[in-house]
Homo-oligomer: A and B are copies of this chain.
Amino acid sequence: MQPEISDHIFYSFLTGGLCASSSTTSTTTTSSFYPFAIEDTVSQEKALAAQRNHKEAERRRRERINSHLNKLRKLLSCNSKTDKATLLAKVVQRVKELKQETLQITDETLPSETDEISVLNSEDSSSNEDGRIIFKVSFCCEDRPDLLQDLMETLESLQMETIFADLTTVGGRSRNVLVVAADKEHHGVESVQFLQNALKSLLERSSKSVMMGHGGGGGGERLKRRRALDHIIMV
Copies of the protein in its oligomer: 2
> Which one, B6, B75, B149, B235, contacts A99 given CB within 8 A?
B75
Distance in angstroms from A73 CB to nearest chain B CB is 10
Asked if A6 meets B1 with Cβ closer than 8 Å, knowing A75-B92, A91-B72, A230-B231, the reply is no
Distance in angstroms from A127 CB to nearest chain B CB is 13
Distance in angstroms from A231 CB to nearest chain B CB is 4
Distance in angstroms from A225 CB to nearest chain B CB is 7
Q: Render A174-215 as a binary contact track against B, CB cut-off 8 A, 1 for contact.
A: 100100010000000000000000000000000000001011
Query: Closest chain B residue to A130 by CB distance?
Result: B218
A220 at the interface (CB under 8 A from B): no
A37 at the interface (CB under 8 A from B): no
| A→B interface (CB under 8 Å) | 1-2, 5-6, 9-10, 12-13, 16-17, 61, 64-65, 68-69, 71-72, 75-76, 84-85, 88-89, 91-92, 94-96, 98-99, 101-102, 105, 109, 143, 145, 148-149, 152, 155-156, 161-162, 164-172, 174, 177, 181, 212, 214-215, 217, 223, 225-226, 228-235
